[in-house]
Amino acid sequence: MLDKCIYDISQFSENIGKFLQEHLHVCKGFEARTFYAEAFSLNLLKRLGMLSAEVEGILRNKIDAKDRSLIHFHGEFLQYAMEDKWMDYPFKNNGVTNWILLRCLVNIRHNQQKERSAADAKHVIRFRQKRNGLVEDDVNVRSFQYHCFSLALIHELWSLTEDPFFELAFQKGLTFIKNFILIDGSSLYIGRGQEQLFGYASLVYILCLGDELDLLGKVVEHLKSYSNKNGVFPLVLREGEVFPSYQPNLQTEGYLGWYGYNNYFDYLSFAGVFFQKSCEVLLRAEENPYCEIKPSPDYCDGMFYRARNRDYEAVVAAPSGVCSNSMAFPYIVSNSHGRLTPCYGGEECLPSLFNQNDIPLPYFPAFSRTMKNRSRSWLSPQTLHLLSPLGYMRRDFQFLQNKITIETRVRSPFKSRHQYLFFDDIERVDNVVLKGRGFKVVSKEPLQFNRFAFCALGRLKVFDVESPKSSLLVEILN
């Protein structure tokens, strides 16, 4: 397992390095907006021994030409990538967790305000790492992608300071994310940046640091399934993304799952560096014994619930904050057919194909919004509760051996309808039965097709139930 992981991950980084080297040689730059791609490309090509004098000159000139006065100058990321010396870049001073930790890390690495930076890093971890181990990227921002990147930074803070505070924070965070690495290796289906390459490169790195080879193997196989003919990856691990991406248009299907700040070459070069760093970790630990703690069959912490059965795994997340935090209908992966149901959410600040009503919760036509609006929610084992000004919803789940039952009751003075979203390839058998790849949905109440919708993983079909109560059976097929 170890040798295979080393080989596969080294292929990831080498293929990315070859692609970047060739692209830069031909195009003399990246022909697209970049924030830090040049610095990470320089780092990667150095590590791989691929850096030609011509390409080094191109990259250094592009870095020097960046306007340091602009609000989107990514000083923290540039300094992190330019490991060898302090560049005195102006920092963006973004207030989200991963940026704060990154700023603290580069300061400590280069003996800049070391004591204050260590204290600032501890402060943000104390306030942003939840009891379950999740590192929120901001208050109520539950992104699995940025959780993984923050853990990578926390481990590097631990390595620099040898402070057991950072060791404990890393171990808690690693234990948390292990619960959500599913059969097919999919892991980053919740929160901003769903299924993006940036997060998977960070996840690979922290699994290597934690000697989690079994889970690492699953994630590596998941990545391999999205490698294209050049050996590199899309920004979002899905089919149908435009490649390579020079001028993203978030209102087209070629860029589902993208956010306004995403740049393809930033994420590709970042991933290359983190894959290569992962290889270096595994090579150093090659002869060391490791012990993996297997996740429990079922997991519930009030925010998230994960069920594991012989035929499938499923995850539910209580709706909170942005739509991508929410998984009010189970995200299901089967042993035989892989991913069966979608994640939800997308870019909410800029125009995109995602609509904030495209989530599997009761919809109120009179208000043009779902029950998520201004709501509070919580998960007890196998029950989701949601309370909002529009009413109260209780959704009960039963995760049985090869089927899942979902019963939803709504109490409200206002008229509503239940919404369920499935991938575009689902077929309507009759007015109560839908059939998808690897599963079947049977409803006690009639299901009416309403419209198409979108998520990070593709186009969806939205079906409605016009009733205060809805009962669905999802049967997992072999």
pLDDT value at 292 more than 60:
no
* 295 — pLDDT class (breaks 50, 70, 90): low
pLDDT top residue among 77 and 380: 77
Check which CATH number belongs to the domain holding 425 and give it: 2.70.98.70
pLDDT at 14: 98
With a cut of 50, say whether residue 287 has pLDDT above it. Answer: no
Assigned domain for 379 exists: yes
pLDDT at 81 over 80: yes
450-478 pLDDT, tens per residue?
999 999 999 999 999 999 999 999 999 98
Last residue of a domain, one of 284, 309, 341: 284
Residues 128 and 258 in one domain: yes
The predicted-structure confidence for 414-444, as pLDDT tens digits, reads as follows 999 999 999 999 999 999 999 999 999 999 9
pLDDT for the residue numbered 289: 46
In this structure, the number of other CB atoms found within 10 A of the CB of residue 233 comes to: 25
pTM above 0.75?
Answer: yes
Rounded to the nearest 10 degrees, what angle do helices 114-128 and 144-161 cross at? 140
Query: Quick one: 302 and 280 in the same domain?
Result: no
- Select from 284, 309, 330 the last residue of a domain: 284
Q: pLDDT tens digit string along 21-69?
A: 999 999 999 989 999 999 999 999 999 999 999 999 999 999 999 999 9
Let me know: does 333 contact 341? Beta carbons within 8 Å. Answer: no
Do 69 and 10 fall into the same domain?
yes
Domain annotation covers residue 88: yes
Structure tokens at 274: 């983190």
Judge if 305 and 277 occupy the same domain: no
Residues 305 and 327 in one domain: yes
Residue 428 lies in a domain: yes
Q: Per the domain annotation, does 135 fall within a domain?
A: yes
Domain containing residue 214: CATH number: 1.50.10.10
- For residues 113 and 133, what is the distance between their CA atoms, to the nearest angstrom? 28
Compute CA distances 252 → 175, 198, 454, whole Å.
37, 21, 10
Question: Is residue 366 over pLDDT 50?
Answer: yes
Buried b (16+ CB within 10 A) or exposed e, 18-46: bbbbebbeeeebbebbbbbbbbbbbbbbb
Same domain, 8 and 128: yes
Task: Read off the amino acid at residue 40.
Answer: F
What number of other Cβ atoms are within 10 A of residue 13's Cβ? 23
Choose among 222, 233, 198: nearest CA to 36.
Answer: 198
Residues 280 and 419 placed together within one structural domain of the fold: no
User: HSE (CB half, 13 Å, CA atoms) of 295?
Assistant: 23
Who contacts 98 (Cβ-Cβ below 8 Å, separation ≥6)? 137, 146, 149, 150, 153
Q: Among 284, 313, 340, give the residue marking a domain's end.
A: 284
Token couple for 130:
């939840």
The total number of structural domains in the chain stands at: 2
452 contact partners, CB below 8 Å, separation of at least 6:
424, 459, 460, 461, 462
Same domain, 339 and 248: no
d(CA 474, CA 311): 13
Contact 242, 192 (CB under 8 A): no
Is 47 contained in some domain?
yes
- Residue 203 sits in the same domain as residue 340: no
**Is there a domain that residue 435 lies in?**
yes
Residue 293 lies in a domain: no
pLDDT surpassing 90 at residue 290: no
- Do 238 and 267 belong together in one domain? yes
For residue 206, tell me if it sits in a domain.
yes
Do 366 and 439 lie in one domain? The reply is yes
What's the domain range around 322?
Answer: 298-476
User: Are 163 and 60 contained in the same domain?
Assistant: yes
